[in-house]
Amino acid sequence: MPDFRSALEGRVLVCDGAMGTMLYSKGVFISRSFDELNLSNPKLVREVHLDYVKAGADILETNTFGGNRTKLMSHGLAEQTREINVRGARIAREAAGVASDRSVFVGGALGPLGIRIEPWGKTSIEEARVIFREQAQALLDGGVDLFVLETFFDLNEVQAAILAVRDVSDKALVVQMSVEEDGNSLEGTPPEVFAKRIEDWGADVIGLNCSVGPQTMLDTIERLANVTSKKLSVQPNAGKPRNIEGRNIYLCSPEYMASYAKRFVQYGVRIVGGCCGTTPQHIKAIRAAIQGNGFQDSRAPKLPAVVESVSISSPPPMQTRSRLGSKLARGEFIKIAEMIPPIGHDYADAIEKAKYLQAHSVDAIHIPEAPRSSARMSAISLAILLEKSTEVEALAHYTCRDKSLLAAQADLLGAYALDLRNLLLTTGPPHQMGDYLDVTTVSDIDSVGLTNMVHRLNQGIDVGGKSIGKPTGFVIGVGANPGNIVNDPDELKRFAYKVAAGAEFVLTQPVFDVTVLESFCRRIEHCKIPVVVGIVPLPNSRVAEFFNYEVPGCSVPEPIRERMRQAEQKSAAHARFEGIQIAQEILGTVRTMVQGVQIRGPFDRYETPVEVLS
């Protein structure tokens, strides 16, 4: 059998088409792990490979696109990672051996991990490299001829995967990105940028697969051909799917796909195949089109490459971004009150309460994200309305819950255009509905990734590394639970990651035990960012018990709980007065430790924060 690199020099190679589409058409339910079929139903996987061999494929990709440990873990299959990949390679090898008229190569398929890695997620590039390495080694042991990294969109993850493959083998490496209709990756990275990076990292072939159909891929291939001398690969979807009675139907005919295969080769493409929606009939038509029209050696002339020069700016000085940022930068003590968004769309009452707080020297109003179970206005919307209707500044709480990275970026760019400047960024609590803890939840990134993204916007670049023009000027706050950080080294580490990502101040969860805050401040002293302490005036003993026993990381000392019990025995008014007095005592004690305070009072009584601050 010839070496794959040598074969690629001599002719255009045809890759196979979709594996998942074919397995689904044969009755495999879409929620199953297709990769696990290598163990439980190898005959079915072999049938798909054989159909592609008969159609004329020169390359069979193993049925291991989701065969990494993290994706298999969601199906309870993590401990079978090696076995699934070794067996996947051997099934493809058996099918490839059936061809008598040509050599058929086996490409070990590796897809994304299905989790976010740094700087957007908590998994480091080195940790991702280890996971990819395990899969690559298993595929190598199974007998693959080359490796195919496909459907990637995050360049950091691509780098980890390339490094992992090179850790175990010097076999040929095909690296394919997914792009949007504009030709940029799904995170907005231009092909001119990702092609050069992938080339520098050691790929033999650079290409595109999935997400879009052949027309968009042709436009993007033209751009790739202008910036790299590497051979190119293309595996488009059979167009955009159309949902018909709950099924995704791909509308591109084999003849249509074949007509584009001819054009791909003109731009240096040396591997042509298909992705979602393509079948052996598509591959057969592509094979016939390439063989019968003499396009193997032609290549369109290169045009001068135009690559946007991206300038990374220093974020604007914090004192210039907002009045709150200016006070933090000057070391002034700041006073914040909390206001929950109203139910419905009528915000007139919120405006009046904001004006009341402003008149009593509150520096900013923190708007928390409301529970999803009630029809309340979003925190960003109310924050912008307060900024427009009063002279008090708003601090908008923005969480990662139910937002993809790109959706969050779009939200915040729009908010900045509407003059919002102060953000509190947190991961946010998960949905909890009965036994279904993950109901309709999107968990694309966490607060570290979100902080990284906003810091980049302040530097004038988006998540794809492109310029956004003039940088934003957000003041970036993050949350922290002092009790958790004091007791858990991993929580302390995560806090340091937030600061490294660009956090500029921290707002704590409610503090009742001053010794916990003292320990917290000592532990984060090296991070050198202002601390704003959260204080809650207790209205009664029941709330005191709730914070002590039901809020993770929060403790209410027994003397405080006893004071609230005794006051409540007298009257509700006595209990409220005692809660305010305790809050004042805490504030008086911690004032020299921190640079600000947030008072969270009963949401219908905005005189309570004023009384504490007085």
pLDDT digits (tens, 9 = 90+) for 345-389: 999 999 999 999 999 989 999 999 876 667 889 999 999 999 999
Domain co-membership, 234 together with 330: no
Domain co-membership, 218 together with 327: no
- For residue 30, which of 94, 62, 75 has the smallest C-alpha distance? 75
pLDDT of residue 370: 72
Does residue 91 fall inside a structural domain? yes
pLDDT of residue 304: 46
The CATH number assigned to the domain holding 343 equals 3.20.20.220
- Domains identified in the chain, total number: 2
Does residue 310 fall inside a structural domain? no
What is the helix (H) or strand (E) element at residue 328, kind and residue range?
helix 323-330
pLDDT of residue 309: 55
The residues of the chain scoring below 70 in pLDDT are: 1, 241-251, 292-310, 371-373, 429-443, 602-604
What is the helix (H) or strand (E) element at residue 151, kind and residue range?
strand 146-152
- For residue 565, which of 585, 537, 544 has the smallest C-alpha distance? 544
Condensed to tens digits (0 to 9), the pLDDT of residues 272-312 reads: 999 999 999 999 999 999 885 444 434 444 444 444 556 78
Which tokens belong to 24?
Answer: 């689904």
Domain co-membership, 280 together with 365: no
Does residue 546 fall inside a structural domain? no
From 241, 272, 291, give the residue that closes a domain.
Answer: 291
Which tokens belong to 552?
Answer: 């993770």
Which tokens belong to 39?
Answer: 């163990």
Domain co-membership, 207 together with 332: no
- Report the alpha-carbon distance of residue 72 to residue 69 in Å, rounded: 5
Domain co-membership, 482 together with 394: yes
Mapped onto helix, strand or coil, the DSSP state of residue 368 is: coil
Contacts of 608 (CB under 8 A, 6+ apart): 537, 576, 580, 599, 601, 602
pLDDT of residue 308: 53
Domain co-membership, 367 together with 480: yes
Range of the domain at 485: 318-537+595-613
pLDDT of residue 294: 43
Does residue 309 fall inside a structural domain? no
Domain co-membership, 198 together with 334: no
Its pTM stands at: 0.81
Which tokens belong to 29?
Answer: 């339910």
Residue type at position 225: A
Q: C-alpha dihedral over 519, 480, 463, 414, to 10 degrees?
A: -140
